[in-house]
Chains A and B, each alone.
Chain A
Amino acid sequence: MNKQRLMRSFSKTLTHSHHSFSTSSSSNNFAIKNVTKSNFDSCLSDLRRHVKDADFVAIDLEMTGVTSAPWRESFEFDRYDVRYLKVKDSADKFAVVQFGVCPFRWDRSKHSFVAHPHNFYIFPRQEVGGDDGSYEFFCQTSSIDFLSKYQFDFNLCVKEGISYLSRALEDKARLQLHSVHEDELSESSCTVKDIKDLPLVRMTDILFVERMKTKISEWHDDLLLTRNGRPGRTPEDSSDSIAHFQTIFFRMRPAIKLNGFTSRQLRLIKSVVEKSFKDLAYIRVNDGSCAQQLIVYTESRSDLDLLMKEVKGIHFKEAEMKIGTAIGFRHVIDLLSSEQKLIVGHNCFLDIAHVCRKFIGPLPLNLKEFVTLVQKNFPYIIDTKILLNGNSMLQLKMKKSSTSLAKAFAIICPHIASADNMLGPAQSPSVSVEVQVDDMSWNSGAKHEAGYDAFMTGCIFAQACNLLDIDFSSHLMLMKEEKLRNYINLLYLSWTSGDIVDLKTGEATTECSAFMTFKIQQPKILFSNIVLIWGFSPTLKAKPIKETLCKVFGLTSVTSIYHLDKTAVFVQFSQPELVHDFLELKSKIEKKNEALYVLHPLSDLLEGGRTRAASYEVYKDICGSPLSKVLFADQAAAVGVDLNTKMLESKAHKNGSFDNSDIPMDTKISETEQPMKSSPGSKNLHREEILDIVSC
Chain B
Amino acid sequence: MYKQKNVVLNHWLPPFPMVRRGRFLCSETSKFFNQKQTPTHRPIKQVTKSNFSDSLSQLKTQISGSDFVAVSLQKTGSYSSPWHRILPFDTAEIAYLKAKYAAERFQILQFAVCPFSIRADANHYKLIAHPFNFHLFPRDELKLGMPCYSFSCQPSYIASMAKEDFDFNVCIYDGISYLSRAQETAAKHLTGNPVSSNYAVQPSTTRSVADNVFVERIKSRVRNWISACKRSDMRSEDALVSSLRRLILGGEEYGSRPSLNIDVCSERQVQLVFEMVKSHYSNVVPLAITSKGGGTQFVRVVLTSSQEDRELLKKELRNMEEEQSRRLCGFREVIDFISASQKPIVAHNLLNDFTFIHSKFLYPLPPTMDEFTSSLHSAFPDILDVNHLMKEISPLTKYSSLPAATSYLKRNFFAPIKMVIPQKGSMEESKNHGHGVVRISELFAKLCFILRILPQAEYHNPDGPSLKRYTNVFSPDSNNFQDSDEADDISIWTNNPMKISINNLVFLWGFRSGTSAGKLKNLLSKSHNLLSEDHAFDVRLVDNSCAVIVFWKDGLSEWFLDAIDSGDGLRELAAEGMMAAGYDTYKRICESEILGVDLADSLAEFDRISEAHTKEPQEVYWNSDLMINFDDL
Give the residues from 111 to 153 in chain A that come closer than 8 angstroms, CB to CB, to chain B. Answer: 123-126, 130-142, 144-145, 148, 153
Task: Give Cα A155 to B159, complex, Å.
Answer: 10
Q: Quick check: is A154 within 8 A (CB to CB) of the other chain?
A: yes
A-B contacts, 17 of them at CB < 8 A, read A125-B159, A130-B82, A131-B156, A136-B154, A137-B153, A138-B150, A138-B153, A139-B152, A141-B139, A145-B172, A148-B169, A604-B630, A627-B593, A628-B150, A638-B593, A683-B591, A694-B364
In contact, B168 and A179 (Cβ under 8 angstroms)? no
Residues on B with C-beta less than 8 A from A626 are 594
Q: Quick check: is B609 within 8 A (CB to CB) of the other chain?
A: yes
Q: Quick check: is A642 within 8 A (CB to CB) of the other chain?
A: yes
Query: Chain B 327-370 against A: per-residue CB contact (8 Å), 1 yes, 0 no?
Result: 00000000000000000000000000000000000011011000
Task: Give Cα A644 to B611, complex, Å.
Answer: 12
Question: CB within 8 A of B544: which of A69, A93, A130, A674?
Answer: A130
Please give the number of chain B residues whose Cβ is less than 8 angstroms from any Cβ of chain A in the complex: 67
Q: Using a CB–CB distance below 8 Å, which chain A residues touch chain B?
A: 64-65, 67-70, 93, 95, 123-126, 130-142, 144-145, 148, 153-155, 158-159, 176, 179-180, 183, 194, 590-591, 593, 595, 598, 603-604, 607, 609, 625-628, 630, 638-639, 641-642, 644-645, 648, 671, 674-675, 677-678, 681-685, 687, 690-691, 694-696
Q: Quick check: is B208 within 8 A (CB to CB) of the other chain?
A: no
Task: Give Cα A137 to B155, complex, Å.
Answer: 8
In contact, A695 and B624 (Cβ under 8 angstroms)? no
Query: Chain B 618-629 against A: per-residue CB contact (8 Å), 1 yes, 0 no?
Result: 101111101110
Q: Quick check: is B12 within 8 A (CB to CB) of the other chain?
A: no
Do A140 and B168 contact each other (CB < 8 Å), given the known contacts A591-B620, A687-B367?
Answer: no
Q: How far is the CB of B551 from chain A (nearest CB, A)?
A: 21
Residues on A with C-beta less than 8 A from B168 are 154-155, 158
In contact, B627 and A678 (Cβ under 8 angstroms)? no
Q: How far is the CB of A21 from chain B (nearest CB, A)?
A: 32
Task: Give Cα A413 to B416, complex, Å.
Answer: 72
Q: Quick check: is B279 within 8 A (CB to CB) of the other chain?
A: no
Q: Quick check: is B281 within 8 A (CB to CB) of the other chain?
A: no
Residues on A with C-beta less than 8 A from B145 are 70, 630
Report the stretch among B30-38, B305-313, B511-519, B571-579 that lies at the interface: B511-519
In contact, A69 and B621 (Cβ under 8 angstroms)? no
With both beta carbons as reference points, the residue of chain A lying nearest to B168 in the complex is identified as A154
Q: Quick check: is B266 within 8 A (CB to CB) of the other chain?
A: no
Task: Give Cα A64 to B155, complex, Å.
Answer: 13
Q: How far is the CB of B2 from chain A (nearest CB, A)?
A: 21
Task: Give Cα A682 to B623, complex, Å.
Answer: 7
In contact, A677 and B156 (Cβ under 8 angstroms)? no
Do A678 and B150 contact each other (CB < 8 Å), given the known contacts A194-B518, A595-B628, A645-B605?
Answer: no
Task: Give Cα A190 to B306, complex, Å.
Answer: 97
In contact, B514 and A136 (Cβ under 8 angstroms)? no
Given contacts A641-B609, A678-B613, 5 further A-B contacts (CB under 8 A): A125-B159, A130-B544, A133-B81, A677-B621, A681-B623
Task: Give Cα A508 to B633, complex, Å.
Answer: 52
In contact, A644 and B609 (Cβ under 8 angstroms)? yes
Residues on A with C-beta less than 8 A from B627 are 590, 593, 609
Question: CB within 8 A of B594: which of A138, A627, A630, A685?
Answer: A627
Q: Quick check: is B608 within 8 A (CB to CB) of the other chain?
A: yes
Closest 9 CB pairs of A and B: A133-B81, A154-B168, A133-B597, A687-B367, A694-B364, A158-B162, A609-B627, A140-B150, A674-B622
Q: Quick check: is B317 within 8 A (CB to CB) of the other chain?
A: no
Do A136 and B153 contact each other (CB < 8 Å), given the known contacts A131-B82, A695-B363?
Answer: yes
Task: Give Cα A598 to B592, complex, Å.
Answer: 33
In contact, A141 and B80 (Cβ under 8 angstroms)? no
Task: Give Cα A93 to B151, complex, Å.
Answer: 10
Residues on B with C-beta less than 8 A from A155 are 162, 167-169
Q: How far is the CB of A118 from chain B (nearest CB, A)?
A: 23
Residues on A with C-beta less than 8 A from B153 are 64, 95, 136-139
Residues on B with C-beta less than 8 A from A628 are 150
Task: Give Cα A134 to B82, complex, Å.
Answer: 11
Give the residues from 146 to 180 in chain B that come closer than 8 angstroms, CB to CB, to chain A. Answer: 148-156, 158-159, 161-162, 167-169, 172-173
With both beta carbons as reference points, the residue of chain B lying nearest to A195 in the complex is identified as B518
Task: Give Cα A269 to B74, complex, Å.
Answer: 37
Question: CB within 8 A of B366: which of A140, A604, A691?
Answer: A691
In contact, A135 and B182 (Cβ under 8 angstroms)? no
In contact, A124 and B155 (Cβ under 8 angstroms)? yes
Query: Chain B 64-86 against A: per-residue CB contact (8 Å), 1 yes, 0 no?
Result: 00000000000011001110100
Task: Give Cα A645 to B616, complex, Å.
Answer: 11
Residues on B with C-beta less than 8 A from A132 are 81, 597
In contact, B621 and A136 (Cβ under 8 angstroms)? no
Q: Quick check: is B29 within 8 A (CB to CB) of the other chain?
A: no
Q: Quick check: is B612 within 8 A (CB to CB) of the other chain?
A: yes
Q: How far is the CB of A525 from chain B (nearest CB, A)?
A: 27
Residues on B with C-beta less than 8 A from A604 are 630
In contact, B628 and A145 (Cβ under 8 angstroms)? no
Q: Quick check: is B138 within 8 A (CB to CB) of the other chain?
A: yes
Task: Give Cα A146 to B605, complex, Å.
Answer: 39
Residues on A with C-beta less than 8 A from B162 are 155, 158-159
In contact, A682 and B159 (Cβ under 8 angstroms)? no
Residues on B with C-beta less than 8 A from A142 are 140
Q: How far is the CB of B167 from chain A (nearest CB, A)?
A: 6
Q: Quick check: is B610 within 8 A (CB to CB) of the other chain?
A: yes
Residues on B with C-beta less than 8 A from A65 are 150
Do A685 and B622 contact each other (CB < 8 Å), given the known contacts A130-B82, A133-B597?
Answer: yes
Task: Give Cα A190 to B526, complex, Å.
Answer: 20
Give the residues from 283 to 321 in chain B that come closer than 8 angstroms, CB to CB, to chain A. Answer: none
Q: Quick check: is B26 within 8 A (CB to CB) of the other chain?
A: no
Question: CB within 8 A of B612: which of A609, A648, A685?
Answer: A648
In contact, B149 and A134 (Cβ under 8 angstroms)? no
Q: Quick check: is B186 within 8 A (CB to CB) of the other chain?
A: yes
With both beta carbons as reference points, the residue of chain A lying nearest to B141 in the complex is identified as A145
With both beta carbons as reference points, the residue of chain B lying nearest to A607 in the complex is identified as B630
With both beta carbons as reference points, the residue of chain A lying nearest to B613 in the complex is identified as A678
In contact, B182 and A695 (Cβ under 8 angstroms)? yes
Do A136 and B150 contact each other (CB < 8 Å), given the known contacts A154-B169, A590-B622, A671-B622?
Answer: no
Task: Give Cα A479 to B611, complex, Å.
Answer: 54
Task: Give Cα A478 to B514, complex, Å.
Answer: 49
In contact, A136 and B149 (Cβ under 8 angstroms)? no
In contact, B150 and A176 (Cβ under 8 angstroms)? no
Question: CB within 8 A of A609: which of B158, B169, B609, B622?
Answer: B622
Residues on B with C-beta less than 8 A from A627 are 593-594
Residues on A with C-beta less than 8 A from B592 are 638, 641
In contact, A598 and B367 (Cβ under 8 angstroms)? no
Residues on A with C-beta less than 8 A from B107 are 139
Question: CB within 8 A of A136: which of B80, B159, B623, B624?
Answer: B80
In contact, A70 and B155 (Cβ under 8 angstroms)? no
Q: How far is the CB of A609 from chain B (nearest CB, A)?
A: 4
Task: Give Cα A607 to B628, complex, Å.
Answer: 9
In contact, A598 and B628 (Cβ under 8 angstroms)? yes
Residues on B with C-beta less than 8 A from A645 are 605, 608-609, 612
Task: Give Cα A626 to B621, complex, Å.
Answer: 28
Residues on A with C-beta less than 8 A from B173 are 148
Task: Give Cα A136 to B597, complex, Å.
Answer: 10
Q: How far is the CB of A69 from chain B (nearest CB, A)?
A: 6
In contact, B149 and A69 (Cβ under 8 angstroms)? yes
Q: How far is the CB of B77 from chain A (nearest CB, A)?
A: 7
In contact, B186 and A630 (Cβ under 8 angstroms)? no
With both beta carbons as reference points, the residue of chain A lying nearest to B363 in the complex is identified as A695
Question: CB within 8 A of B172: which of A135, A136, A154, A630?
Answer: A154
Task: Give Cα A572 to B363, complex, Å.
Answer: 36
Task: Give Cα A595 to B627, complex, Å.
Answer: 10
In contact, B152 and A138 (Cβ under 8 angstroms)? yes
In contact, B622 and A70 (Cβ under 8 angstroms)? no
Task: Give Cα A138 to B104, complex, Å.
Answer: 12
Q: How far is the CB of B265 from chain A (nearest CB, A)?
A: 19
With both beta carbons as reference points, the residue of chain A lying nearest to B629 in the complex is identified as A607
Residues on A with C-beta less than 8 A from B77 are 136
In contact, B140 and A141 (Cβ under 8 angstroms)? yes
